[in-house]
Structure 1
Amino acid sequence: MLFSTKDTGPVADAVKQHWVDTRLPAGLRPYARLARWERPIGWWLLLWPCWWSAALAAIAAGNGWPNPWHLVLFFVGAVAMRGAGCTYNDLLDVDIDARVERTRSRPIPAGQVTKNQARSFLIVQALIGLLVLLQFNTFSIVLGLASLLPVAIYPFMKRITNWPQLFLGFAFSWGALMGWAAVFGSLSPAPVLLYFGGICWTIGYDTIYAHQDKDDDALVGVRSTARLFGNRTKPALIALYGCATVLFSLAAAFADAGPLAFAGILAGVVHLGWQVIVLDIDDGDQCLKLFRSNGTYGWILFAGFVTDALVGVGL
């Protein structure tokens, strides 16, 4: 049976009084929590590299706007695959989650759904993602299927390396390749540079996120860049965000972007600099707030790229 019959309340760090907890039928709420529907920042962070890449492809192709159909497909795919990834991660990490204060109320360790129910839900979400992928050209389909490798290995990395955020970057930045491939049916230096910039950005924002759990992680043996960097987190973030900015700028240059794209990147630097300046690694609530603010950073870059595309064709 797919539907859950038990709802023991929201996850500890979820958004309070979200529509998932107030409007969905009780039997569906645990699945929404598995997919993190009440925390949209996750799929925004997965979506942004896709949309950035689509916007750079529009600039390079001389179009005035990213393909709207592609933007819709990437949105649906990001929501579905982020949910599938979270479900997969929770299935693998149930023993760890049960021992960490922030995660022990997640649906599987809290007994809201069984493992078999979670597996069924994972399959449903993956099939939606596959349906979305099949709307693209053959090159993009093959490229999209290749993304399953970093997605599959990421949850294991926290057990064997201090750099699990690097492997999250491999998975979450894959859209930087997809947006370009969907337009051109191939890759070039621009999307590759965007991909590596996305990896640096992901390591940075997920390091901030991981500082929420560093004490519990130390107790249960989970590794992270938050624990690795420790009090050196701010210099590390400056290096990571700096590398991301340089790589994004190079990607824009290879896409023949104009000054408005670079203005967007510069405005993004101000936002990232604010994150570093105000960060208190011992304030878990603030770490979560700063992590979520990367959704705003995504809008800043996207607005710069889209505006540049519009101006480039005289619109």
Structure 2
Amino acid sequence: MSKRLTVEFIFIGFETTMSAKKDKRKVASHCDWMSQLPPKLHNIPLYDLAIPGSHDSMSYDLDINSSIIEPDRLQRLSKIYCVRKIVRKWAITQETITKQLDAGVRYFDLRIARKARDHDPTRLYFCHGLYTHTDVETVLKVIRDWAERHPKEILILALSHFKGFDKANSAQLHRHLIGFIVTLFGAKLIHIRDVPTLRSCWDKGRNVIISYDYPTTQHGEIWSKIPYFYGDTMNTTKIEAKLQHILEKARPVRFGDNFFVCGLNLTLPEDARTLQYILRPCDNLANVIRRGLPRLLQWTKRQAAKTPVNIVASDLVTCDDFIQTVIELNALKSTRA
């Protein structure tokens, strides 16, 4: 047996013997925090505001009975239940989309996928390691209903990945999904020709931005991909260093006059190093993130005093003081406005 297979069998044979304690602290509701910002901030571009965002927003809904989408090296082990169980354990982070909205999240990382051999040719799901239980159209309707109840809260939906969109069906699936979005949100969609501010969005009755990571020129309501910067590591010190370099030195094209995301999320290694995390009997990704998030939030506050900060995204957005901390960054912007 090869060393690689030996490692994989160690991986799939592991099961947790104890469950981690749940964080029972209540998270404050910020259902309408945008409408409560100081008037000075009502007329500045939205990409000059500090906006809480969620990374892998649908990770709470993963279906343990689905096939494994990623990592690639485990796809052939999809039929083994304990493998799917471990993938799910280390992929679940967020709470429901409604809880995220109520808590104050305004940017959503929505990763789209189509199941192979689905008898419905246009039915789509979300993914993060596994497929979700709930299909895309159902979740988007929930978001639309929430947006109608909170017309002064601006939502940014970033659609990406599009797993299972192959050459034979890609064009049809994109047409169907974009058509559904345009019909569903209708007059609530903010046009790409606009420089959106809170005031301009409120005056026009528009409060949804769709960011779509696939070229489309047919619809003025569909925005291009929003840059997402992250550390690609589990080490919080390295995450801080990489984001600081981007914000202070790299200065991406159009940085400062368009949306951009600073991702505080931790990322598991894609090689054998991941075993040092997944083989911990009483641990999971949510707990690791919970331990590192306070430090990352302190860094974010220090960094925001030096450079522009727009969307700040994390896993476990309803945990601790993440949302409150990001919203409070707007106090700095208010004094500068």
- Structure 1 length normalisation: TM-score? 0.32
